[in-house]
Amino acid sequence: MTGNKEAYFYLASSLEKIFPDTDCVKKNDQHTISIFKGELPAFLLVYGSSSNYDGERKHFAEGFTYEIKGSPSPVRVRDVELVPSAFPCYEQTDEWYLKSQPGLFPDLLCPRETNFVRLIPGQTRSLWIDFLDTSAIVPGTYQIDILIYGKDEKEPYQILTVNLNVLNKVLSEQTLIHTEWFHADCLADYYHIPVFSEKHWEIMEAQIVLAGKELGINMLLTPIFTPPLDTAVGGERTTVQLIDILQDADGSYKFDWSRLKRWCDLCLRNGIKYLEIPHLFTQWGAKAAPKIVVTVDGKNVKKFGWHTSALDSSYQSFLKQFLPELQSKLIEFGYDRDHVFFHISDEPGMDCLESYKAARESVKESLKGWQVVDALSEYSFYEKGIVQHPIVSSNHISVFLKNKVPQPWVYYCCGQSVTVPNRFFAMPSWRNRIMGVLMYLHGIKGFLHWGFNFYNSQYSISHIDPFFNTHASYAFPSGDAFLVYPGPDEKPMSSIRAQVQREALDDLNALTTLESVVGRERVVALIMENAEEPFDFEHYPHGADYILQLRERMAELFIQEGQKN
């Protein structure tokens, strides 16, 4: 820090969240990042000025400009903007929250048009800076200088340095299956455009590009019919149904698969390797059919929905014709049975064991040979064979891991708010990023989160403005319902949480990369070097330093082994 009347500038890791009142006592002029080729590393340029700033450095009265020199790859700079949260957490928390009171939280990443940055008196702010396309960089250590200039000055006021250490190996390809539920209807609702209009397709693709090509999301919820998710009993969400369905006079059905073909093509070209089919039955008990619109006698009608019981003969007859044809078309469009996942009903509990079991049995033959997964907390459902491939909440996964459930999946959402990792506004970023190490240690096959772009209130009773209402109308702590923001130019804007989660995936892939060189035993030993047993989803190192130091120790071990060879 320079002085009370001077602007101040320093570097911080991407695991810091800079609030307007962040204390600037600690100052870092240098920062080191070690990566394998292909990672997307980031850091923060932190800046601010005192509230009574008016004196010694008048060339900072309005702001500053920056220049970045020495980078071996393109550099992207974004403003970290503050977003309101009137509901940052539940009443029960733990000691590892940043704040528990409503306020403004750093989250939104806004693209910059110039290199001029305005100083806001009395506030500390930050820029998110990352290195794009590192896959082709020549290995080595690069000194990257960030030069800070005052108004009309030709000589830099301060020079900050990032040392980027690029290792001589390409990052292993992601094997984790990662889905964040994509809510296509929310995009049409937010932008006030017709569902599946050309503009809707453009906006959806922009978000899918961000998901698949940058954020490590490789499975997408595919609205063959309107997903029966977070919808009030008896209510409905905006219809978003890829398949046009016609019922003939004899009761049989004809299907138009053209929009599904377009969807599959869109996904394939944007890194989406897997498709997730919406649940065949409603949430909270698998008691009804999802909303499905059918053309009957020239009119579109809600043929199935809350008014249709799960085992209704007309719905069961529909599924018996629909599912085999759907499966055939998915294969034709590039997604075979190894790359498609079906659902029965979301998060069944003991109170709906029988109804879930009956729904599952009703489609058992139609889904034979295809992958069926469901979010689950009750181990007894797995133990009894009712759910064969569970996606387990992080605060219930210990019993599944203890019993060595093969190829485990994990998820978290609003309910996982104490002890376990999560990504609420009010949580530190290391609590998000530690998931990469945890998933490596425990051999996790897949990760699911329900909120990629849910811009509705709870139960989809109303639509929201996600730049103001960040909690689904006080239903979920801010940071749960959506990961990206709908930009004013119809392009998505990312968040700190999305980018840090991407870094967690890079950690996971980096550990796999290192394993290919030194073996799993040595990688696990390295992870445990500065940690304690047990190292699981409820017990793990707290703080950013553990993760940052682990990455540097990984680089050191890789370099040592390289010299031996």
Residues above pLDDT 90, as percent of the chain: 91
Confidence category of residue 300, pLDDT binned at 50, 70, 90: very high
pLDDT computed for residue 563 by the predictor: 63
Whole-structure pTM value: 0.96
- Residue 2: the pLDDT is 37
Asked whether the predicted pLDDT for residue 117 surpasses 90, the reply is yes
Look at residue 58 and tell me whether its pLDDT is greater than 70. Answer: no
Mean pLDDT of the chain: 95
Mean pLDDT within 58-76: 91
Look at the block and give the residue holding tokens 């500065």: 530
Neighbours of 413 (CB within 10 A): 19
pLDDT in tens, 7-48: 899 999 999 999 999 987 667 788 999 999 999 999 999 999
Alpha-carbon distance of 407 to 114, in angstroms, equals 47
Residue 539, strand partner residues: 536
Tell me how far apart the alpha carbons of residues 121 and 127 are, in angstroms, rounded to a whole number: 17
pLDDT at residue 26, as a whole number: 62
How, if at all, do strands 158-170 and 140-149 pair? Answer: antiparallel
Res 3: pLDDT: 37
Q: If you average pLDDT over residues 329-336, what whole number do you get?
A: 98
- Tell me the per-residue pLDDT of 478-507, one tens digit each, with 9 for 90 and over: 999 999 999 999 999 999 999 999 999 999
pLDDT in tens, 175-196: 999 999 999 999 999 999 999 9
Q: Round to whole Å and give the CA distance between 332 and 319.
A: 19
Cross-strand bridge partners of residue 492: 486
Give the pLDDT of residue 420.
Answer: 98
Its sign, for the CA torsion 462, 424, 34, 448, is negative
Q: What is the pLDDT of residue 351?
A: 87
Residue-wise pLDDT for 341-379, tens only, equals 999 999 898 888 999 999 999 999 999 999 999 999 999
The confidence score (pLDDT) of residue 29 equals 85
Q: pLDDT at residue 126 above 80?
A: yes
Element (H, E) at 499: helix 496-518
Q: How confident is the model at residue 6 (pLDDT cuts 50, 70, 90)?
A: confident
